A and B are shown apart, each in its own frame.
Chain A
């Protein structure tokens, strides 16, 4: 791997990590667990468009491990990994079709992230009662997805020229 590329990865992971930190610190308490903006996904989304699937996966997993070990617990890492991998999978699939813009891709990612977390919670807690949260998490995934998609598109617009040099 070229040193420049290593530096770029380091920069992106650091950025995603800082976003996680901000989100953990400023989290708005709500009566539904799991509703959040997913700021770090801006970085993953941008990486997906600028650098490709492998880089996005790498950044996503490292970010989850880092922030999980720093701010949370092993349980949190498992939840996050399930959410993030499903989210990335959905984004990659939608992006491949070429029929969706970044907001659409990001919305699919946001919703898939929430579905993944509900699924893991249902398995870990051995209850199906969590389906009650489903509609709220669908809507929140949608709203967050649009916001992250728009932000991600801006990052890609500005980052394209930078990444050409790497």
Chain B
């Protein structure tokens, strides 16, 4: 019985930690301006989220198709064996990621000001 109580405490603690993490990222999130594509840890390209786009990313490991529409980025096609990147949902908030492990490809949303050259000065 004591073991069962400890089990429940353990589960509760983990769930609380998860909720705290999630809550933190929920409240601090903001819509990003760019989808940054990284392959093997190196930046591949940076695509503005406000311009619709469909592009083929040919990595040494395989090909993924990145689509930007309605301010959201998604991977619609990939020739990786698991296809997990295609199944992940669209991303648009800063820090959100799409990952294709077999191709070592990461699509990450970056903030709108970062690297922004369209700076308006009045």
Contact = CB atoms under 8 A, between A and B. Distances in A.
Contacts of A135: 18-19, 21-22, 25
Contacts, number: 97
B14 A129 contact: no
Interface residues of B, number: 33
Interface in B70-102: 81, 84-85, 87-89, 95-97, 99, 101-102
A134 B87 contact: no
B4 A101 contact: yes
B6 A104 contact: yes
B106 interface: yes
A107 B12 CA distance: 11
B14 A30 contact: no
Interface residues of A, number: 35
A111 B19 CA distance: 15
Given A73-B81, A100-B10, A104-B10, A127 B89 contact: no
Contact of B38 (A29, A30, A108, A127): A127
Contacts of B14: 107, 111, 138-139, 141-142
Contacts of B2: 99
Chain B interface helix/strand/loop/mixed:
helix
B44 to A, nearest CB: 12
Interface string B38-55: 101100000000000000
29 contacts: A33-B85, A73-B102, A99-B2, A99-B3, A100-B7, A101-B3, A103-B4, A104-B3, A104-B6, A104-B10, A104-B11, A107-B7, A107-B11, A124-B104, A125-B38, A125-B40, A125-B41, A125-B104, A125-B106, A126-B40, A126-B41, A129-B108, A132-B97, A133-B97, A134-B18, A135-B22, A136-B18, A138-B14, A138-B17
